[in-house]
Amino acid sequence: NAGVTQTPKFRILKIGQSMTLQCAQDMNHNYMYWYRQDPGMGLKLIYYSVGAGITDKGEVPNGYNVSRSTTEDFPLRLELAAPSQTSVYFCASRPGQGSGNTIYFGEGSWLTVV
């Protein structure tokens, strides 16, 4: 059971480049999330999804886009990378209603924009 899988683990981007952080979970979870973690700032929610075809903004959505075409996948897109997007990104998923509130995290993706 792989759980939540994120790729790539490390990436360096130039300003203005675009990229997609991939996230997949094999637990048939309905709810998926993208967080970013900055030093001394804790985790901030970027986008979340409550099921395939449904996404919504979190606290810090600017500069990002997401899609949820399948239950398993929840990619995060950076269209025009900026230095402020240098961060560690965590994807997470959660079972549906009645299954408790535990959120399972991927191992993180370290992104540097130069």
Partner 1 sequence: AQSVTQPDIHITVSEGASLELRCNYSYGATPYLFWYVQSPGQGLQLLLKYFSGDTLVQGIKGFEAEFKRSQSSFNLRKPSVHWSDAAEYFCAVARPLTGGGNKLTFGTGTQLKVEL
Please list, residue by residue across 59-95, b when 16 or more beta carbons sit within 10 angstroms of its beta carbon and e when fewer do: ebbeebebbbeebbebbbebeebeeebbbebbbbbbb
26 binds partner 1 (CB under 8 A): no
64 binds partner 1 (CB under 8 A): no
Query: Smallest distance from the beta carbon of 87 to partner 1, in angstroms?
Result: 14
- Binding residue (CB under 8 A) for partner 1 from 58, 61, 63, 75: 58
Question: Which span sits near partner 1 by CB under 8 A: 20-28, 41-49, 61-69, 79-87?
Answer: 41-49
Closest CA to 45 of 22, 64, 73: 64
50 binds partner 1 (CB under 8 A): yes
